[in-house]
Chain A
Amino acid sequence: MAEIIQNEGGGKQKGKRRIKRHSTHIDMTPMVDLACLLLTFFMLTTAFSKAKVMEIILPERTQEDDKNRPQVDDSKVLNLILVDNDKILWYNGLADPTKASLPPLVETDFSADGIRKILLQRNRDLFAKIDGLNNDIITGKIKLPRDSVDARIVNFKRGDKLGPVVLIKAHDNVKYKNVVDIIDEMSITNIASYALVDINHVENKMVSNYFAATSSGAGSNK
């Protein structure tokens, strides 16, 4: 075992002092045990103590009359309105109060069959590209360093013309969890462009109309 073996120093003394006769073996087992224990503790705590973060970059504040505002095609816009009880109401295009009919709201939720399916269907082209690339990396068909893989994915996203532009809006009383969930959903489904936007009064009205319609049992909301 781990021990210090000390030579008996008093061998050649002339028999007077016999105190140091027995060997001074120090049993180091408890100390080693403790060292092991501490080692395990520190290894485990250091490995798990780092918190994970999700990065989000919000668009810079622009003036209302800014000419450089990005123009988006109305048909590509997918609006997600988060409402309480973990529900999402979504509609396509723009809600224009001057038009006769507002786009209908459809209710969905955060499950894999809910919002994820909708997003994947709309984003199928881009998702298939990125998924294909990732699969090729995993199976070893393409050998690329991580950086260039990321760069390629960024390029895919930039060149994407078919995917939706998702506008995320939160109604009153929405919990923070839902917002993080939906942003997470964007990264899972590889949506190229999405933004957190303030809800406007037209949409507020649409939501309250929708709830009025569903609670009275009318079913659809027009």
Chain B
Amino acid sequence: MGKIKMAKNPPKIDMTPMVDLFFLLLIFFILTATFRPQEAVAVDTPSSNSNTTTPESHVITLTVSKDNLVFFNIDNGTDSSEHLRAKVLQAMGSQYSIRFTPAEIKRFEALNSFSLPIAKMKDWLDAKDAKTRDAMHTGLPMDSTDNQLLMWIRFARQYYPDFEVALKGDRDADYKEVKKVIDILQDNNVNKFNLTTNLEADKVTLDNI
């Protein structure tokens, strides 16, 4: 007599918890996402088997592009309240007796790496769009008569002595140029470098001998 009773109600799955979870994750990822800022120059970094990651903040990034231009970039500190970029720019301005308006300083904080003499910095900041800005990267003076790269690094370290240095060279950049940058850094008593590379695992065993 006992018949198996089938469930009458249609099998409806409540998806609300799943959707809730989706949104939660979405919000988490949106908030934690750090976008790679648009670089002034595309750099194809060499690969290594090192698995260390770049430090989060307080990094001086020195980029050596394919055509051997050296780009300088520092970040603004852990959060934007430190205004490290602004301080360094003002220090550079007073060193070379250039006055930057507050608007220009603000724009500098939002911008990225550059490779141009300090005399042209005002034009660069006042440039209308990114295209004209990119066309202005003619090289940062770094010879013995006018070593602006040295000054930039010096002022950056003055405001935050523990800046890490990331050296990001293109695989086809000349080592001579990179060596020049390394020498300038060593003049500033920076002896620890982070060479930015791509990860490429390479395994060796004793059989390789």
The yes or no answer to A59 lying at the interface (CB within 8 A) is yes
The yes or no answer to A26 lying at the interface (CB within 8 A) is no
Q: Which residues of chain A from 147 to 182 have a CB within 8 Å of any chain B CB?
A: 170, 172-181
Residues of A within 8 A of B (CB): 1-2, 28, 32, 35-36, 38-39, 42-43, 45-46, 49-61, 82, 112, 116-117, 120-121, 124, 127-128, 131, 170, 172-181, 183-184, 187-189, 196
Query: What CA separation (Å) do A62 and B46 show in the bound complex?
Result: 30
Of all chain B residues, the one with the shortest Cβ separation from A181 is B46
- Residues of A with C-beta under 8 A to B178: 176, 179
A182 to chain B, nearest CB (A): 10
B175 touches A52 (CB 8 A): no
Q: Which of B33, B34, B206 contacts A131 (CB 8 A)?
A: B206
Stretch at the interface among B51-59, B93-101, B102-110, B123-131: B51-59
- Known: A176-B177, A181-B48, A187-B48; 13 extra A-B contacts, CB below 8 A, are A2-B16, A49-B34, A51-B45, A55-B195, A56-B193, A58-B193, A112-B208, A117-B209, A120-B204, A174-B175, A175-B174, A176-B175, A180-B197
A55 touches B208 (CB 8 A): no
B194 to chain A, nearest CB (A): 4
Q: Which of B25, B29, B173, B204 contacts A176 (CB 8 A)?
A: B173
Query: What CA separation (Å) do A105 and B64 show in the bound complex?
Result: 31
- Residues of B with C-beta under 8 A to A38: 26, 30
Q: Which of B53, B64, B194 contacts A50 (CB 8 A)?
A: B53
Q: Which of A32, A57, A117, A175 contacts B208 (CB 8 A)?
A: A117
B53 touches A55 (CB 8 A): no
A53 touches B33 (CB 8 A): no
Q: Which of B32, B48, B206 has the largest count of A CB atoms less than 10 A from its CB?
A: B48
The yes or no answer to B8 lying at the interface (CB within 8 A) is no
B174 touches A116 (CB 8 A): no
Residues of B within 8 A of A (CB): 15-16, 18-19, 22-23, 25-26, 29-30, 32-36, 45-54, 64, 166, 169-179, 182, 186, 189, 191-199, 202, 204-206, 208-209
Q: Which of A1, A46, A177, A178 contacts B32 (CB 8 A)?
A: A46
Instruction: Return 30 A-B CB contacts under 8 Å, by A number.
Output: A2-B18, A32-B22, A39-B22, A42-B30, A45-B35, A50-B53, A51-B196, A53-B194, A53-B196, A54-B50, A56-B194, A58-B192, A60-B191, A61-B186, A112-B204, A112-B208, A120-B208, A120-B209, A131-B206, A173-B174, A173-B176, A175-B173, A176-B177, A176-B178, A179-B178, A180-B169, A184-B50, A188-B49, A188-B204, A189-B204
B61 to chain A, nearest CB (A): 10
- Residues of A with C-beta under 8 A to B52: 52-55
B172 touches A177 (CB 8 A): yes
Query: What CA separation (Å) do A128 and B193 show in the bound complex?
Result: 28
- Residues of B with C-beta under 8 A to A55: 50, 52, 192-195
Query: What CA separation (Å) do A183 and B176 show in the bound complex?
Result: 16
B26 touches A39 (CB 8 A): yes
Q: Which of A36, A53, A177, A183 contacts B54 (CB 8 A)?
A: A53
Query: What CA separation (Å) do A128 and B208 show in the bound complex?
Result: 11
Given contacts A42-B33, A53-B53, A54-B195, contact A124 B48 (CB under 8 A): no
A31 to chain B, nearest CB (A): 9
A36 to chain B, nearest CB (A): 6
B175 touches A2 (CB 8 A): no
